[in-house]
Amino acid sequence: MKFRKCRQCGEIKLETEFRQYYGETRTGKERGRYRTCKACESINTRYKYLCKKQSNGRASEQELQELDKIEQLYDLLRAKGLKPPSKRERSTILNLVDELLEKHSTSSVEDTDELVSAAAPQELLDWLNADLSQYDPEYLQDVVADELIKKYRPQIGVDSNTYKPIYDDTHRDLLNKVLERFDEYEDNYTDEGEDEDA
């Protein structure tokens, strides 16, 4: 029996509690599995459905309460360092415009230059712009991400007071952007698989 940890709820469950990827593998091995368990996927599916109903103005009071409760759960999981889906915007175009204005007014050109400076490793920049559609999400998460973390955020010591590892954070921001991109790709890959089932 194999076990996996769900990236969303943090629980360790049997591997059979995680759906397999769709399609054939390129290597002929058994298909990999998603990193979000089936129970969390059902919550996420319900959340997407309720968001769509709410945006169309057809959600009942009970459904709006359910939506708020799921968002509270997501906030709690995020606070614990887990990875629930990002909140979907449930508002008007005006709110989206306000959000973009706020985002661009607080970030400066210097912030962007700092993130993608001349000292940024080319490998990270390549992964930041690469076409991910030719890769299986499991390969990106289990192989590429692990290699990039080992290479660009290695442990450089141990804190003598807390005994926690100390990491080299030189390229942390750029590395996190790449890892977030891998997560988004896996989430979209999951959505495409759900659409095929319907």
Q: What are the structural domain ranges in the chain?
A: 1-105, 107-198
Give the chain's end-to-end CA distance (angstroms, integer): 30
- For 111-154, how does the pLDDT look when each residue is reduced to its tens digit (9 = 90+)? 544 444 547 888 988 898 888 888 888 888 888 988 998 998 88
Residue 46's pLDDT is 93
3-state secondary structure of 33: strand
Is the pLDDT assigned to residue 13 strictly greater than 90?
yes
Nearest to 51 by CA among 67, 40, 62, 70: 67
Contact at 8 Å (CB) between 124 and 178?
yes
DSSP for residue 57:
T
3-state secondary structure of 166: strand
Give pTM, 2 decimals.
0.49
**Distance (Å) of CA 5 to CA 26, 49, 109, 141, 176:** 25, 26, 39, 14, 20
- For 36-49, how does the pLDDT look when each residue is reduced to its tens digit (9 = 90+)? 999 999 999 999 99
Measured N-to-C along each axis, helices 172-197 and 145-152 cross at an angle, to the nearest 10 degrees, of: 170
- For 21-31, how does the pLDDT look when each residue is reduced to its tens digit (9 = 90+)? 877 666 667 77
